[in-house]
Amino acid sequence: MRAPLPHLLTFTVLLGGLSCSHREDADPMDWYTDVTAASGLDFVHFNGMSGELYFSEIVGAGAALFDADGDGDLDAYLVQGAMLGPGKTIADALLPPHDPGALHDRLFRNLWAESGELAFEDVTAGSGLEGATGYGMGVAVGDVNNDGHADLYLTNAGPNQLWISTGDRTFRRSEENPEVADPRWSTSAAFLDFDRDGWLDLYVANYVRYRPENHKGCLDSAGAPEYCGPHSFPPETDRLFRNTGNGRFEDVTESSGIGAEAGSGLGVVTGDFDGDGWVDIYVGNDLMRNLLWINQGDGTFRNEGLMSGTAVGALGKAEATMGVDAGDLDNDGDLDLFMTHLDGETNTLYLNAGDGLFLDHTARLGLAEASRPATGFGTGMIDVDNDGWLDIVAVNGAVKGLPSQKRAGEVLPLRQSNQLFVNGGASSFSDQSLRIPAFAQADVSRGLAAGDLDNDGDLDLLLTHNAAPAQLLRNDIGHNRPWIGFDLVGGARRVPQGTELRLRQGSIELLRRGGTDSSYCSARDPRVVLGLASLDLPASAQLEVEVRWENGRRETFRDLQTGRYHPLKEGTGAAVEADR
Amino acid sequence: MTRQLGLTLFLGLLVGCAQPAPEPLPEPSDLASLEAPVRRQFEQAHELLERLRSDPETQPARLARAFAAVGEIHLAYDHLETARQAFEAAVALEPTEPRWSYLSAHTHYQLGENEAARARYRAVLELQPNHVPTFVSLASLAQQEGKGPRAEELLGRARELDPGSSRVLADLASLALEGDQPEVAVSYLQEALIHQPGASQLHYLLAMAYRGLGDANRSTEHLAKVRATSTQQVSLVLEDAWLARVRSHRVGARVHDQRAQRALAAGRLEVAELELRQALLANPERHYAHYGLAGVLFRLGRSEEALQELDTLLNHDPRHTPSLVLLARIQLALGQTAAARASYHRAQIVGPDDPEVQELRKLLEQRAGLETETEPAATPPEAPPGAGTL
């Protein structure tokens, strides 16, 4: 007799045969290799926790991948914490610092360009960045004075800092910009040229009005001490700083309209979401409505979050957004949005209908179920296997103590494992985290920066973990497939923001966003890599791409060979019809 | 169906009888740090369970209830892993009771164990085929897995059983929107609005549906009715007596805090005060709760009482900047300008970059030349930033 399925399931459950697996069987091949130790990237984050459960100690910190010395490879910048709390000293730290004598951010030089090896040396000493000693949260990268060198904006739980590059791995702290030393608790920041004047402006996401001096003892639902959440403190207003030329900034928060909304901002990504040619700003807020600032083209912005369908989840509730990224996930020629959320919620994918109106397609595309048990922070839309479809990486770590880790007596019981969702084409994503063995290791992950560290045409990953060593994962899959890369040089800047690159091949159009913003408190490789595996191209293929620069000008570049990076300089391509 | 159910029950009973007594359940590791009323709940439930578990005469059904009672307490306080263990034990001991399967399913779901949750939910329907929350939960699981038609089928059954549930109608509308059928979504949502006109979520979904239909005016009209914060929003109705019972177990300061927050959002300051006092009674060690209470008392115009609350807190933590700022503001409102200046200086030392301290400085500069030590405040005090944040 064949028993009906419900009956069999009931029977199975009664016998205790419950299956809790969420992940698909893995291909035996690993897609990423942990090369942290081999590369010499020796950085351990210090969160300054002393048992008081200060809110800020579990929120940091991020990292950046950028070419600090102009030698053609990506260097790594890691943001450091500090001791927290009035009167607290290092002796009070529950997790003592790795190097108590050097509690500042770190710059690691990549030796790939000169040695062909993915190896790093700590070049912080003498760089000036020993002075980056705030309680660090995040880092944004952009060339604020158009000198061709990447500058750094550091966000802190306290006054932020702007560091100007001299181009030879040394930096000086900008003293001429007191405006940008925002004293609020800032998290992510993004450079963008919102007024198209050729100078990079700056958007800074601020979180809540919390400092250890206004700490309050929060409780979990049973009355035990627990970290506070964002609702325990008033939200802050984000800041928009306009670059008036040569890296001098003025605060235009109020005049631009940005000051009209307060929010608990954690993630920022910029892009032209409504297709009008002007760069817009999307801000992920923690347990408050997200903001979609649509650029009006006259120096002002209007929040279209609710109307666009990106302010709240599919059922109309505000969610706890942490990290955000924008990219064309369905290859239909516009920018979609992905964001990570608190456990109990799903991560959310909003698909753009092409006109700045979005719909939540998280469940339909298979991204809901696997993400619900985890609290996501850093994220990236990354074509990890170069098949031409953007995949999603989400790095996780809880914000409330996990019972099993608390029972085990862990000091920071927030560890969760990270996830890779592979885009199978137009229909669905699948959780293929097992393809990255390092993701099985649970950490309190926060930052994620993607970049091609060995210039082999695929994207490697730099992860940061709260109170733990940073982690470097080398991509071992993408370079085996056809690819083409672009180093976009807009005007004088080598770090362009807000550019869009399109490759059309037959009926397929691949759109990629150039720039360093997205994820959580982190900055990624500004270059664009296009995976071409799904295009079925001959080895000798010569490609044509169209670039829309941040000022709206469009140009095409022709006869481009696959398998290498191409520097594309604004003004050297063929202009496309009337510029917008 | 009857044959299936009979066989299931038989096998279940067989398993229940054949099994040894379930393993003991761990008490919370941080029991000592819990508030006294909560700690007592855990202790009493565990004590009763252990007594029954160690008594060979205890009937399986009685023991199942004791396991489930412990499970409910753990679930009420989000101790999900122990709750799961407790409900699984209850199911094994008394498989004919749908509540245990339902609560087990709910706990598995909360833990992200979807397959196990689904199996338990199905077991509930075998025992209680018309249980609406189970249909809704199974639909939610199906929807999360991208199985829209299956979710719609399950919600359709729930709607037949409970036509007035705005939650069921909203879920159906959400599925319709996901399937690019905004006109279908509108019909569900208009019906739901009849039952629950004040529900923010319904207005949001309607705005999205009208947007899909290209009707910008109606979309904007409904967006204007979406409330900004969760404390202002009304939850969608879904009668769920078993989970309501779990929630009713919650006691302690946090319960009162949440009620106070809702009261504050609704402008009911007296209720907020009452709840905050209850919270302090439940947990007198929460010194920072005096700040929230002081803010409410100040807004009620009872400045002297507010000062007493701040005094208590500042005795515990003399560097608490918000309290120093609030103290200065109250003193200023009472016309005690010199005292307000002194409080400001204390705040300025602790938090020189604090925007609230800077705002206080501006306020002092504005008022300093206008008021003397003896002049009372001319206007009722305004709440300082964050004074309503508990």
Please judge whether B95 and A211 are an interchain contact, meaning their C-beta atoms are less than 8 angstroms apart: no
The per-residue pLDDT for range B263-322, each reduced to its tens digit, is 988 889 999 999 999 999 988 888 888 999 999 999 999 999 999 999 999 998 888 888
Strand arrangement, sheet containing A336-339 = A324-327, A336-339, A348-352, A358-360
Whether the Cβ atoms of residue A447 and residue A469 lie closer than 8 Å to each other: no
B27-81 pLDDT per residue, tens: 777 788 888 889 999 999 999 999 999 999 999 999 999 999 999 999 999 999 9
How much is the pLDDT for A292? Answer: 97
For residue A19, the chain B residues in CB contact (below 8 A) are 115-116
A34 pLDDT exceeds 90?
yes
Residues, chain A = 580
Q: Does A363 touch chain B (CB under 8 A)?
A: yes
Which among B116, B254, B353 is the nearest to A221, CB-wise? B254
- Written as one letter, the residue type at A454 is D
Contact B298, B273 (CB under 8 A): no
Residue B139 to chain A, least CA–CA distance (Å): 12
Instruction: Calculate how close chain B gets to A362, using CA atoms only, in Å.
Output: 8
pLDDT value of position A10: 32
Of the partner residues A6, A9, A224, the one whose CB lies closest to the CB of residue B33:
A224
b (16+ CB within 10 A) / e for B254-265: bbbbbbbbbbbb
Give the amino acid at B305.
Answer: E
Measured between beta carbons, the chain B residues lying within 8 angstroms of A181 are: none
CA of A370: which chain B residue's CA is closest? B112
Query: In DSSP terms, which residues pair with B80 in a beta bridge?
Result: none
From A12, A158, A221, residue closest to B119, measured CB to CB:
A12
Helices (H) and strands (E) counted in chain A, each on its own, are 6, 40
Query: If DSSP states are collapsed to H, E and C, what string results for chain B?
Result: CHHHHHHHHHHHHHHHHHCCCCCCCCCCCCHHHCCHHHHHHHHHHHHHHHHHHCCCCCCHHHHHHHHHHHHHHHHHCCCHHHHHHHHHHHHHHCCCCHHHHHHHHHHHHHCCCHHHHHHHHHHHHHHCCCCHHHHHHHHHHHHHCCCHHHHHHHHHHHHHHCCCCHHHHHHHHHHHHHCCCHHHHHHHHHHHHHHCCCCHHHHHHHHHHHHHCCCHHHHHHHHCCCCCCHHHCCCCCCCCHHHHHHHHCCCCHHHHHHHHHHHHHCCCHHHHHHHHHHHHHHCCCCCCHHHHHHHHHHHCCCHHHHHHHHHHHHHHCCCCHHHHHHHHHHHHHCCCHHHHHHHHHHHHHHCCCCHHHHHHHHHHHHHHCCCCCCCCCCCCCCCCCCCCCC
Tell if the CB–CB gap between B112 and A224 is shorter than 8 Å.
no
Could you read off the pLDDT of A236-247 as tens digits, one per residue?
Answer: 999 999 999 988
Tell me the C-alpha distance between A215 and B321, whole Å. 9
Residue B147 has pLDDT above 50, yes or no: yes
> Residue A270 pLDDT more than 70?
yes
Q: What is the pLDDT of residue A2?
A: 34
pLDDT at B354 over 70: yes
Minimum CA–CA partner of B32 in chain A:
A224
User: Between B30, B201, B321, which is nearest A224 by CB?
Assistant: B30
Question: Mean per-residue pLDDT for A75-102?
Answer: 94
- Predicted pLDDT of residue B368: 64
Average pLDDT over residues A537-561: 91
**Cβ–Cβ gap B119/A13 under 8 Å:** yes
| Residues A281 and A203: beta-carbon distance below 8 Å | yes
**Closest CA in chain B for residue A2:** B4
Residue B14 pLDDT greater than 90, yes or no: no
Q: Among A278, A287, A271, A282, which Cα is nearest to A234's?
A: A287
Q: CA-CA distance, B142 to B148, in Å (whole number)?
A: 7
Pick B33's closest partner by Cβ from A15, A225, A317: A225
Q: Is the pLDDT of residue A9 over 50?
A: no
pLDDT band at A505 (very low <50, low <70, confident <90, very high): confident
Q: Give the pLDDT of residue B130.
A: 97
Q: What is the pLDDT of residue B369?
A: 52
Closest in A20, A317, A365 to B116, CB measured: A20
Average pLDDT over residues A495-511: 86
Q: Does A7 touch chain B (CB under 8 A)?
A: yes
With an 8 Å Cβ cutoff, is A23 touching chain B? no
Which chain A residues are within 8 Å of B177, Cβ to Cβ?
Answer: 314, 359
Name every chain B residue with its beta carbon within 8 A of the beta carbon of A366.
Answer: 145-146
pLDDT of res. A14: 30
Distance, CA of B216 to CA of B221 (rounded, Å): 8
Which residues in chain B are closer than 8 Å to A211, comparing Cβ atoms? 321, 351, 354
What chain B residue is nearest to A430 in terms of C-alpha separation? B145
Q: Report ipTM for this prediction.
A: 0.80
Cross-strand bridge partners of residue A483: A531
d(CA B49, CA A392): 46
Contact A20 B80 (CB under 8 A): no
Q: How far is A6 from chain B (nearest CA, A)?
A: 6
Question: Within a 13 Å sphere around the CA of A527, how many CA atoms are in the beta-carbon half?
Answer: 26
Q: What is the pLDDT of residue B383?
A: 46
Percent of chain A with pLDDT over 90: 74
Pairwise CA distance, residues A207 & B249, whole Å: 34
pLDDT(B350) > 90: no
Omega prior to A468 cis, within 30 of 0: no
| DSSP 8-state symbol, A57 | G
Q: What type of residue is A311?
A: A
H-state helical runs in A61-111:
none
- Within 8 A of A372 by CB-CB distance, chain B residues are 112, 144
Sign of the alpha-carbon dihedral angle for B29, B32, B38, B39:
positive
Average pLDDT, chain A: 90
**Closest by Cβ to B144, choosing from A231, A346, A406:** A346
Render the burial of A77-111: b for 16+ CB within 10 Å, e for the rest: bbbbbbbbbbebeeebbebebbeeeebbbbbbbbb
**C-beta atoms surrounding A539 within 10 Å:** 8
Q: Which two tokens stand for residue B77?
A: 């306080």
Q: What digits encode the pLDDT tens for the residues A522-532?
A: 999 999 999 99
| pLDDT on residue A49 | 97
Q: Which of B29, B116, B254 sits opposite A223 (nearest CB)?
A: B254
End-to-end alpha carbon distance in chain B: 53
Whether the Cβ atoms of residue A304 and residue A294 lie closer than 8 Å to each other: yes
Looking at CA atoms only, how far is residue B22 from chain A in angstroms? 12
Of A485, A491, A515, A455, nearest to A148 (Cα)?
A491
Mean pLDDT of B127-138: 97
Determine the residue among A160, A208, A219 to mutate to test chain B binding: the one whose Cβ has the most chain B Cβ atoms within 10 Å: A219
Q: Does A355 touch chain B (CB under 8 A)?
A: no
Q: What is the pLDDT of residue B230?
A: 56
Chain A stretch 258-297, residues whose beta carbon is closer than 8 A to a beta carbon of chain B: 287-289
Could you tell me if A17 lies within 8 Å of chain B, comparing CB atoms?
no
Give percent of chain B with pLDDT exceeding 70.
Answer: 87
**Mean pLDDT for the stretch of residues A403-414:** 91
Both tokens assigned to A283: 């801000």
A51 at interface of B, judged by CB pairs closer than 8 A: no
Least confident range from A2-11, A93-102, A285-294: namely: A2-11
For A55, the 3-state DSSP assignment is helix
Which residue carries 């393993």 as its tokens? Answer: B23
Burial class of A299 by CB neighbour count within 10 A (0 to 12, 13 to 18, 19+): middle
Model pLDDT, residue B20: 62
Nearest to A183 among B282, B289, B353 (CB): B353
pLDDT of residue B217: 94
Asked if A214's CB is within 8 angstroms of B320's CB, the reply is: yes
Q: Give one DSSP letter per residue of A230-248, joined into a string.
A: GGGSPBEEPEEEEEEETTE
Decide if pLDDT at A16 tops 50. Answer: no
pLDDT by residue (tens digit) across B225-270? 887 655 555 678 788 999 999 999 999 888 898 899 889 888 899 9
What is the reported pTM?
Answer: 0.88
Say if the Cβ atoms of A233 and B386 lie within 8 Å.
Answer: yes
Backbone φ and ψ for A154, nearest 5 degrees, come out as: -105, 125
For A305, the closest chain B residue by CA position comes to B223
Q: Which residue of A has its CA nearest to B291?
A: A216
Q: Do B112 and A372 make contact, defined as CB atoms within 8 angstroms? A: yes
Q: What percent of chain A has pLDDT over 70?
A: 94
A197-214 in b/e form (b: 16+ CB < 10 A) is: eebbbbbbbbbbbbbbbb
pLDDT grade for B186, boundaries at 50, 70 and 90: very high
